[in-house]
């Protein structure tokens, strides 16, 4: 038999007999790594450990062989993908007659690690999941092999027809080449049409968990009968799985949709339309604080606050380019007197309208127009998610029109503004990305090379000036300009994209924006879009999860609960509440017949920052016994004393009540 040259990790080369499996090759090189290997890569292509190296593949050349190890993204992919197969095997075992759809690994989704779409002989419920998981564990322990076979397409179709797997047959007919690879889990009823690779046997799968069920359609086609999607996740080790489960529970505890309901902050009402947010009085109180703060800052920083319509003639969207590039995300046109109108998906063209309403001179610039502008986008229902992905939302939008000489200062001001805002709301850790053009010319970038260099330099300089570390991402810029994105890290270490500062070479051209320069000639102004919250809805959702609903005093919808110990104190309680309300605090009283313990518990559940407990003694001495949400009893003080403390915390937008 002839020999094949292989190159192993660390650059070592060796000769192996043709027909050797990659497992054997890896074993000869490094026993430990081979033991751990989940799959392998031959010249960068992922293969099973049972893959045989043959001469024709080598063609006289050296083959590079490396293990795919746990603890790498590729390793995780193999584990999750193989576990999805194990799930299908368990389902077939427990529910014979189950028809299999597809079952991919998910690596980007924070909520799930894989799923399998199936049509079971009966509707599966959450109660079935423990039994399925148990069967998966039994199969895993039996150490069954994943076996690959390459057969002709006809043969594959025959095999899957025999097993009554119509969906797999559809897939093979559609996607299969002349020869197709199928995988068995030997000793289980499972067979799949799949490219692999998989783990060599089921006892490599040690840490997995089934999570939930949802509906799904074959190939996303709602005309077809509904399937069931079983979600799960898997990791290389039990420790990783446990840590992930804990994080997930924490995320669930903080889920803004749940807290939104429990704390009566907002709702989404199916009968009015998905993706549309109803702000209840308590959510409204928070929004008002957010907006009031923002407006005051806009005034202070020289922005003009504008209000613009929600719809505009369709021609406008042709001029802006939205009709060409963005029509799918816009609600369909509506007609009046032969003219078509469309709801706005963005505010930019409207602010341009204000800019263009008069001739501008260099003396007028910079012009900074800001709006809490409500936009509408026709997002598909499947992509909607609470406050984070909606169909109607309000951007804290602004557009800056300026001269090239002004751009540097303007961008620095935007960055300062963003950091002030994000810090005020309690975020301390940031990840900043600068998306630049890169060398790929296929993206159809607008604007001259010089414009790009200037814009990218202005953005990088602004970050540099403020000593803000950032990651430069080549080729990620929009076709119309580079941008800065600011992601915040929340209380449990998740990152949320909020602020964007985006250059635009496109709209000033399309709308032929001009200003008269010092030279008395017309020039194109530079244009920057920027949103700090991103959208008010999304920012609110992130805030709810960051604080787990326990907002700092200045944002809390109810800041103080005044609680009588007995009915005798009711009148005093109302008097205390009135005086605090007059000072501008948001106050609730609870004069129901409950015991004081229940009243405190209730206020605690509503995450009200301060509870003032009032009994006979407090009444007599004109005092209040103060409880703070997280610190408990902090002692009695006079009403004036408490009021001054609370007002100071509100005024300074303190993040903790001390
Ligand atoms: Zn597979
Ligand atoms: Zn814009």
Residues 269-320: pLDDT tens digits?
999 999 999 999 999 999 999 999 999 999 999 999 999 999 999 999 999 9
Radius of gyration in angstroms for the set of CA atoms belonging to the chain, rounded to a whole number:
31
**219 DSSP assignment:** G
CA atoms within 13 A on the CB side of 282: 22
Residue 528 is predicted with a pLDDT of: 96
- What's the half-sphere exposure (Cβ side, CA atoms, 13 Å) at 279? 17
Per-residue pLDDT for 57 more than 70?
no
Ligand closest to CA 198? 1
Closest C-alpha to 501, from 542, 455, 538: 455
Torsion from C-alpha of 601, 603, 607, 609, nearest 10 degrees: -120
pLDDT at position 55 is 67
- Closest alpha carbon to 590 in 607, 612, 616, 622: 612
Q: What is the mean pLDDT of the chain?
A: 93
Edge-to-edge order in the sheet of strand 587-589: 587-589, 560-564, 610-614, 623-628, 632-638
C-alpha 316 – ligand 2 centre gap (Å): 14
Distance from residue 530's CA to the centre of ligand 2 (Å): 7
User: What average pLDDT does this structure show over 416-433?
Assistant: 96
Catalytic residues: 348, 377, 395, 397, 399, 483, 529
Strand 471-474 relative to strand 430-436, pairing: parallel
Q: How far, CA to CA in Å, does 147 sit from each of 86, 119, 187, 193, 309?
A: 13, 25, 11, 12, 63
- DSSP codes of every residue in 447-501: S-HHHHHHHHHHHHHHHHHTT---EEEET-SBTTB-EEEEEEE-TTS-EEEEEEE
Distance 350 CA to ligand 2 centre (A): 9
Q: According to the model, what pLDDT value does residue 544 have?
A: 97
Phi/psi region, residue 21 (left: phi>0; alpha: psi -120 to 50; beta: rest), is: beta
- Tell which residue, 83, 179, 186, 184, has the closest CA to residue 135: 83
How far is ligand 2, taken at its centre, from the CA of residue 452, in Å?
18
Cα-based distances in Å from 165 to 168, 193, 476:
5, 11, 42
Dihedral sign from CA coordinates of 273, 275, 276, 280: positive
Residues facing residue 4 across a β-bridge: 16
- Give residue 146 CA to ligand 1 midpoint distance, Å: 9
Task: Report the share of the chain in percent with pLDDT over 90.
Answer: 79
Which one of the ligands is nearest to 147 CA? 1
CA of 379 to the centre of ligand 1 (A): 32
Instruction: Provide the pairing of β-strand 471-474 with 114-119.
Output: unpaired
| Contact between 422 and 498 (Cβ < 8 Å) | yes
Question: What integer pLDDT is reported at residue 557 of this predicted model?
Answer: 98
Question: What digits encode the pLDDT tens for the residues 610-640?
Answer: 999 999 999 999 999 999 999 999 999 999 9
pLDDT in tens, 111-153: 899 999 999 999 999 999 999 999 999 999 999 999 999 999 9
Q: Quote the CA–CA distance of 34 and 148 in Å, as a whole number.
A: 20
- pLDDT mean over 470-496: 92
Report residue 21: phi and psi, to 5°. -85, 160
First-residue to last-residue Cα distance in the chain: 80
Rounded mean pLDDT of 365-372?
A: 98
Minimum-distance ligand to the CA of 370? 2
Tell the burial category of 317 from Cβ atoms under 10 Å away from its Cβ (0-12, 13-18, 19+).
buried
CA–CA distance, 362 with 403 (Å, rounded to integer): 7
Contact, 108 vs 101, CB < 8 A?
no
Report d(CA 409, CA 244) in Å as an integer.
Answer: 43
Tokens at 528, concatenated: 């920057």
d(Cα 485, Cα 303) in Å, to the nearest integer?
21
Q: Which ligand is nearest to the CA of 397?
A: 2
Strands (E) in 99-219, as ranges, are 99-100, 114-119, 146-152, 179-185, 191-193, 207-217
Q: Is the pLDDT of residue 8 over 90?
A: no
Q: Which distant-in-sequence residues (6+ apart) come within 8 Å of 220 by Cβ? A: none
Please tell me the distance between residue 531's alpha carbon and the centre of ligand 2 in angstroms: 8
54-58, 249-253, 263-267, 442-446: which has the minimum mean pLDDT?
Answer: 54-58
Phi, psi of 103, rounded to the nearest 5 degrees: -145, 80
pLDDT of residue 62: 85
How much is the average pLDDT of 480-504? 94
User: Which residue bears the tokens 């015991």?
Assistant: 595
């Amino acid at each position: 038999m002839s020999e094949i040259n292989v190159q192993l990790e660390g650059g070592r080369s060796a000769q192996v007999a043709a027909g050797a499996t990659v497992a054997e090759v890896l074993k000869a090189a490094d026993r430990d790594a081979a033991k751990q290997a989940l799959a392998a890569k031959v010249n960068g292509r992922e293969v099973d450990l049972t893959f045989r190296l043959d001469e024709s593949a080598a063609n006289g050349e050296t083959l590079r062989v490396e293990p795919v190890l746990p603890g790498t993204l590729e390793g995780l992919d193999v584990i999750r993908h193989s576990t999805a197969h194990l799930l299908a095997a368990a389902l077939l075992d427990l529910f014979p007659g189950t028809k299999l759809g597809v079952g991919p690994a998910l690596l980007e989704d924070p909520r799930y690690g894989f799923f399998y779409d199936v049509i079971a002989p009966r509707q599966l419920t959450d109660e079935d999941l423990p039994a399925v998981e148990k069967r998966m564990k039994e199969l895993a322990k039996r150490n069954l092999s994943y076996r690959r076979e390459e057969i002709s397409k006809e043969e594959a179709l025959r095999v899957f027809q025999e097993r009554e797997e119509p969906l797999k047959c559809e897939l093979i007919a559609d996607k299969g080449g002349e020869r197709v690879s199928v995988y068995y889990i030997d000793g289980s009823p499972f067979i799949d049409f799949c490219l692999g690779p998989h783990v060599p046997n089921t006892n490599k799968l040690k840490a997995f968990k089934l999570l939930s069920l949802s509906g799904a359609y074959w190939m996303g086609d709602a005309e077809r009968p509904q399937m069931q999607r079983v979600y799960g996740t898997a990791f290389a080790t039990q420790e990783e799985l446990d840590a992930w489960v804990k994080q997930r529970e924490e995320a669930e505890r903080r889920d803004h949709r749940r807290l939104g309901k429990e704390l009566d902050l907002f709702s989404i009402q199916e009968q009015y339309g998905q993706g549309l947010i109803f702000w209840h009085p308590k959510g409204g109180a928070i929004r008002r604080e957010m907006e009031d703060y923002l407006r005051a800052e806009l005034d202070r920083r020289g922005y003009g606050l504008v209000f613009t319509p929600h719809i505009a003639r369709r021609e406008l969207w042709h001029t802006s380019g939205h009709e060409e590039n963005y029509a799918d995300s816009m609600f369909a046109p509506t007609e009046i007197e032969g003219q078509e109108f469309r709801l706005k998906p963005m505010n930019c063209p409207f602010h341009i309208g204000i800019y263009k309403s008069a001739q501008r001179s260099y003396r007028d610039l910079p012009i900074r127009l800001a709006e809490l502008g409500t936009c509408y986008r026709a997002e598909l229902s499947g992509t909607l998610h609470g406050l984070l992905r909606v169909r109607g939302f309000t951007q804290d939008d602004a557009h800056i029109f300026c001269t090239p000489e002004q751009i540097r200062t303007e961008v620095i001001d935007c960055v300062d503004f963003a950091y002030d805002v994000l810090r005020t709301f309690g975020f301390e850790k940031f990840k900043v990305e600068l998306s630049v053009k890169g060398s790929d010319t296929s993206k159809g970038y607008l604007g001259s090379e010089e414009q790009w260099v200037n814009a990218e330099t202005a953005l990088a300089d602004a970050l540099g000036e403020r000593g803000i570390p950032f990651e430069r991402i080549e080729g990620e810029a929009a076709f119309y300009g580079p941008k800065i994105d600011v992601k915040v890290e929340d209380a449990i270490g998740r990152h949320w994209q909020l602020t964007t500062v985006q250059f635009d070479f496109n709209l000033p051209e399309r709308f032929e924006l001009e200003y008269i320069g010092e030279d008395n000639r017309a020039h194109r102004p530079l244009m920057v879009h920027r949103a700090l919250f991103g959208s008010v809805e999304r920012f609110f959702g992130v805030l709810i999860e960051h604080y787990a609903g326990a907002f700092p005093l200045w944002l809390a919808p109810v800041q103080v609960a005044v609680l009588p110990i007995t009915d005798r104190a009711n009148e005093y309680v109302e008097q205390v509440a009135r005086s605090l309300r007059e000072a501008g605090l948001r106050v609730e009283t609870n004069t129901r017949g409950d015991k004081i313990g229940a009243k405190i518990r209730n206020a605690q559940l509503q995450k009200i920052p301060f509870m003032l407990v009032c009994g006979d003694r407090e009444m007599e001495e004109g005092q209040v016994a103060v409880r703070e949400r997280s610190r408990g009893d902090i002692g009695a003080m006079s009403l004036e004393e408490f009021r001054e403390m609370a007002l100071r915390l509100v005024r300074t937008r303190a993040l903790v009540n001390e």
